[in-house]
Amino acid sequence: MFFMPANHKILSRKIYLPIWSSLLCLFLCNSGNWLLAQQIDVSQSTCGINEKNIKGFTVCIELDAKSVETGLSRHIKSIGKFSKAERNAWEGKNQMIQSISTDAIDFYAKQTVSPRCVQVFMGANRSGVESGLSEADQENIRKMVYDFALEQYRNDLKKQISEAERVVNLAVKAHDKRFQEGEDLKNRLTRTRKEKTRLIEDLDVNSKLNLKLKSDSIRNVSERETALEEIKKVRQIAEEKKQKLGLVK
């Protein structure tokens, strides 16, 4: 089981996921090759192509028929000039294929789909005759069939690993996005708390200012009343002076 450290929010994105992906790929490649070596079974067989019975070798590949057909077509093109003999069968006459024989040969390949697997046959005769090849040449064909099957399994594993890495990358991107969203939310929350504190402080200042304004307003009313009383007194004194002035003859 794989355990993450407490501070995995950063480490999981920058260190552990890449390392884990690399180790997983290495494990798949190494273990895959070992399994392939145990599972690939090449058997000697005879196959009918263009009304000819060709001796060769057959391997059973448990992969998608379309991918095997694509692989077989590429393989045939890589070793010589071939033509389609029949559906999913190739024929190349008078071919010089050094990996098989130093002599010219008529080479054949065919793909057949069975309920259990995709069967791939490869075989050859000496060019121009239907006689078989030497044991060494036959062994070279057997090795070619084995190597072809091994290559197909390896390519399939590479596709699986590539797809797994794609899924991991998508998961990492999704994790990064959620992580960044979390950081943004925390920052927004911090800013909101600071704003709340500022508003509370402003409210306290406003409350104190409001109390002061009320106090000043009450004092102002009192001062205005006092001023009015002073005006009344002055007016009364002035009236009394006028009355005294009127009495003077």
Specify the CATH number for the domain of residue 108: 3.30.310
Cβ proximity of 123 and 140 under 8 Å: no
Q: 81 in a domain, yes or no? A: yes
Give me the pLDDT at residue 19, please: 52
Q: 160 in a domain, yes or no? A: no
Q: 117 in a domain, yes or no? A: yes
Give me the pLDDT at residue 30, please: 55
Give me the pLDDT at residue 124, please: 93
Which residues are paired to 123 by β-bridges?
Answer: 56, 108
Q: 216 in a domain, yes or no? A: no
Give me the pLDDT at residue 28, please: 56
Q: 180 in a domain, yes or no? A: no
Q: 123 in a domain, yes or no? A: yes
pLDDT in tens, the chain (249 residues): 444 444 444 444 454 455 555 555 555 555 555 454 447 899 999 998 888 888 999 999 999 999 999 999 999 999 988 888 888 899 999 989 999 998 899 999 999 998 889 999 999 988 877 667 889 999 999 999 999 999 999 999 998 888 888 888 888 888 888 888 888 888 998 999 999 888 888 888 888 888 888 888 888 888 888 888 888 888 888 777 777 777 766
- Structural domain span for residue 53: 44-141
Counting beta carbons within 10 angstroms of the beta carbon of residue 74, is it exposed (0 to 12), middle (13 to 18) or buried (19 or more)?
A: exposed
Give me the pLDDT at residue 12, please: 46
Give me the pLDDT at residue 116, please: 87
Give me the pLDDT at residue 142, please: 96
Q: 124 in a domain, yes or no? A: yes
Whole-model pTM above 0.75?
Answer: no
Give me the pLDDT at residue 130, please: 67
Q: Which residue matches tokens 């197909």?
A: 152
Q: 93 in a domain, yes or no? A: yes
Distance set, CA 121 to CA 59, 65, 149 (Å):
7, 14, 11
Query: For residue 19, which of 35, 2, 1, 38 has the smallest C-alpha distance?
Result: 2
Could you give the number of structural domains in the chain? Answer: 1
